[in-house]
Amino acid sequence: MGWFTKKKATAVPVEQPAQEIWTQCPACKAHVSKEEWDKTFKVCPRCNFHERITARERVDLLIDPKTFTELYPKIKPSDPLGFVDGKGRYADKIEEARQKTGMNESVLTGYGQLSRIKVALAVMDFRFLGGSLAGSTGEKILLTSTFALKHRMPYIIVSASGGARMHEGIISLMQMAKTCAGIARLQEANIPFISVLTDPTTGGVSASFAMVGDIHIAEPGALIGFAGRRVIEETIKQKLPDDFQKAEYLLDHGFVDLIIRRDQMKQTIASLLRYYRR
């Protein structure tokens, strides 16, 4: 009987654990390979759930490779109120956000080619303090609109925001007016402004530049609204339907032109811009 004396075979290297090639859709819990998740830009192939993506990922999705030039990368929050609250210092929050995202503010701005069409672009990143709108956010968005005006480029803003950043008080509020003043100038010059509404687009952002695009393109299921659901329910003392403030609801109510899946966003925008004659 040889098995007692047989040497044990050398251990075969273990296959990569299952967790590393699979991920789970946060919405329908389907198992999707990471490869596919990345291929669809984080959209569930089964239920169409659009997970939030970073500003850089959005740029990769929309802009032709190697054609993006970042503008105003150094503009950062200045803590105009010297704000400190129950949770700590705003200055510390800014630093945390910078470490977490590698960004100086909640918006990435620049210009590039979208299917060979030159565009100016501002993309918000929800990871940076909830994509909130503060002084330096508004500054970047305005400066980029001025750039678009100067070079007569269509302007695309991709919104992802919980609204105005409280920590900068009235300075944040005024960015609503400031950014819209920039859009007004583009309007006057007949330069297209496309507003892409992603999840979430709320508060001071929905009540400013996000809702004055020539064309509003929303991602499926995106939450787009002014007041928060809970505040509304407390005000009217009623429960709201599940689809309230979703992209589809806004489409039905006349405030969104198109709902486009992420993987078709770039070609849709390109098709629309081809109707624009400079």
Partner 1 sequence: MNLEFEKAITELDEKIAALPAQDRTPQQTAEFEKLQKAKDAALKEIYSALTPWQTVQVARHPERPLIQDFIAGLFSEFIELHGDRLFGDDHAIVGGFATLDTWRVMVIGHQKGRGIDDNLKFNFGMARPEGYRKAMRLMHMAEKFKVPVVCFIDTPGAYPGADAEERGQAEAIARNLMEMSALKTPVIVAVTGEGGSGGALGIGVGDVLLMMSNAVYSVISPEGCASILWRDGTKAPEAATALKITAQALLKLKVIDEIVPEPIGGAQRDPKAAIAALRKVLIRNLDRLTHTSTSKLLKRRFEKYARIGSY
Q: Tell me: does residue 183 bind partner 1 (CB under 8 A).
A: yes
Number of residues that bind partner 1 (CB under 8 A): 60
Cβ-contact 172, 203 below 8 angstroms:
no
User: To 5 degrees, how large is the angle CA 266–CA 260–CA 111?
Assistant: 30
To the nearest whole angstrom, how small is the minimum distance from the Cβ of residue 19 to partner 1? 35
Q: Within 13 Å, how many C-alpha atoms sit on residue 38's CB side? A: 6
* Nearer CB in complex with partner 1: 22/249: 249
* Nearer CB in complex with partner 1: 63/197: 197
Q: Within 13 Å, how many C-alpha atoms sit on residue 92's CB side? A: 6
* Nearer CB in complex with partner 1: 188/242: 188
Q: Tell me: does residue 85 bind partner 1 (CB under 8 A).
A: yes
Return the SS3 of 223: strand
Q: Tell me: does residue 217 bind partner 1 (CB under 8 A).
A: no
Q: Tell me: does residue 251 bind partner 1 (CB under 8 A).
A: no
One of 185, 251, 261, 270 touching partner 1 (CB under 8 A) = 185
Q: Tell me: does residue 80 bind partner 1 (CB under 8 A).
A: yes
112-151: contacts with partner 1 (CB under 8 A) = 134-136, 138-139, 142
One of 45, 169, 220, 221 touching partner 1 (CB under 8 A) = 169
* Nearer CB in complex with partner 1: 43/211: 211
What CA dihedral angle connects 146, 148, 152 and 155, to 10 degrees?
Answer: -130
* Closest listed residue to residue 211, CA positions, set 268, 250, 178, 172: 250
Q: Tell me: does residue 203 bind partner 1 (CB under 8 A).
A: yes
Cβ-contact 158, 183 below 8 angstroms:
no
Q: Tell me: does residue 30 bind partner 1 (CB under 8 A).
A: no
* Nearer CB in complex with partner 1: 23/172: 172
Distance in angstroms (rounded) separating the CA atoms of residues 217 and 94 = 30
* Nearer CB in complex with partner 1: 38/252: 252
What CA dihedral angle connects 46, 51, 56 and 61, to 10 degrees?
Answer: 30
The per-residue b/e assignment along 244-266, b for 16 or more CB within 10 angstroms, e otherwise, is ebbbebbeeeeebbbbbebeebb
Distance in angstroms (rounded) separating the CA atoms of residues 203 and 162 = 6
To the nearest whole angstrom, how small is the minimum distance from the Cβ of residue 23 to partner 1? 32
Applying CB under 8 A, which residues contact partner 1?
Answer: 78, 80-81, 83-87, 134-136, 138-139, 142, 164, 166-178, 180-181, 183-185, 187-188, 203-204, 206-212, 224-228, 231-232, 235-236, 238, 240, 244-245, 253-255
